[in-house]
Amino acid sequence: MEFNFLGKAFRGDKVIWCIFIALCIISLLEVFSATSTIAYRQHSHWGPILRHAAFLLIGFAVVMFLQRIPSRFFSVLLLGLPISAILLIITMFMGEDVNGAQRWLGIGAFTIQPSEFAKISAIGFVAFFLSKMKPENETFIFKMLIIGIGGLCVLIAPENLSTACLLFGVCFLMMFIGQVSLKKLGLIALVGVGSVVILLGSLTMLPDSFAKEYLPDRLSTWKNRIERHSDTNQASIFDKNEDGSIAYKITDDNYQVSHAKIAIANGGVIGLPGSGTERDFLPQAYSDFIFAIILEEMGLLGGLFVLLLYVALMIRCGVLASKCEKKFSCYLILGAGLILTIQAIANMAVAVNLIPVTGQPLPLVSRGGTSTIITCAYFGIILACSSRLNNSEHEDVDESIANVDFETFDGGNKE
């Protein structure tokens, strides 16, 4: 009886549910530990974690709601594309500046991040049009996808280039999986990669004085991040002590990366549960660099476990998508799995200094409001598409077949 109740309450794929719950538990533990600086500023030990727990609870409610919705109704995400575009335009002029980026839009006492709504809307947009694509309308579908996604990424890029690149990359992979012509995709890849290379190359060659004087603040930020990450002049980060020994020099330029490396070194193999120290030094320990805190407190083994959770999520999404009879559900699952996994890998790569700082949170683990709820929405969509109960057509057919007594039929094909 209890098993049946749980089966009805938690619909969809059980592996996805296990991954979701595991990430939520890790999030609560690590955010509680990593928000020490916020707790100190607010003079409240429980305030930051209670806020995060509240958003996780709202996100859990979103998952419970979405898992019961038939997957065909997710085509409503098409409407999210123009709405997201309008919100992004409003944010450009009326957004709130946080940490040097104008990405948030204040609505009363709350702030939302329109780029998060844009990402989930774009996934639904691409999945819908790919599901309708046929050889005779491929060119039209391709143009619609490029106009819609390209326009959205252009609006996101000025304040959040990494998110724009992430979103376009995921949509590109979805089109590749959706068997869009390789010639068309190759042309888009050439234009996209060429544009990024030209932009980044131009930024690195411009003098610092010119960048500060004439370039927008965000462009100057990108330039500084690229230069810091690609700096191979080791002499600039080492000092000689009076006794002749070499000391590592932490400056404003390498502050975050240096403390992330210290956190990773402190953690070792098994970590320092609840005893990490770098949470008090890393400015974004609970967001951009939370994976460094995970490595410090859970060690290499814990970090690998978290990484494997996201890898397992992507693999399971691939398995589920291969079993979907409807193309729309298939592409929705793949899109949601891709954006969660790639964003997670990007966050981890920043924490271990493989790529420049991007500002991408670790999905479902990093502290956040809009990002946490939208991430939960991705899981809700995956669970809804993986649940046979949500396919009313199949459900009606199954029930009608189950209620038929074939023994009452005679003649016909009966031998």
Q: Is 319 contained in some domain?
A: yes
Does residue 410 lie in a domain region?
no
Tell me the C-alpha distance between 340 and 307, whole Å. Answer: 12
In a domain, 399, yes or no: no
Based on the structure, what is the number of domains in the chain? 1
Report yes or no on 166 lying in a domain: yes
The predicted-structure confidence for 83-119, as pLDDT tens digits, reads as follows 999 999 988 888 777 666 677 787 766 778 889 999 9
Arithmetic mean of pLDDT, 260-284: 83
The lowest-confidence range among 18-32, 80-94, 240-254 is 240-254
Q: Both tokens of residue 293?
A: 């805190």
Q: For residue 189, is it within any domain?
A: yes
Is residue 5 very low, low, confident or very high in pLDDT (cuts 50, 70, 90)?
A: low
- The per-residue pLDDT for 245 is 59
Q: What is the pLDDT of residue 388?
A: 61
Q: Could you tell me if residue 397 is inside a domain? A: no
Residue 38 structural domain: 10-389
In a domain, 396, yes or no: no
Tell whether 380 is covered by a domain. Answer: yes
Looking at residues 266-275, what average pLDDT do you find? Answer: 83
- For 131-142, what is the mean pLDDT? 90
| Whether pLDDT at 390 is above 60 | no
Task: Give the whole-number percent of the chain exceeding pLDDT 90.
Answer: 40
Question: What pLDDT does 286 receive?
Answer: 83
Rounded mean pLDDT of 329-348? 94
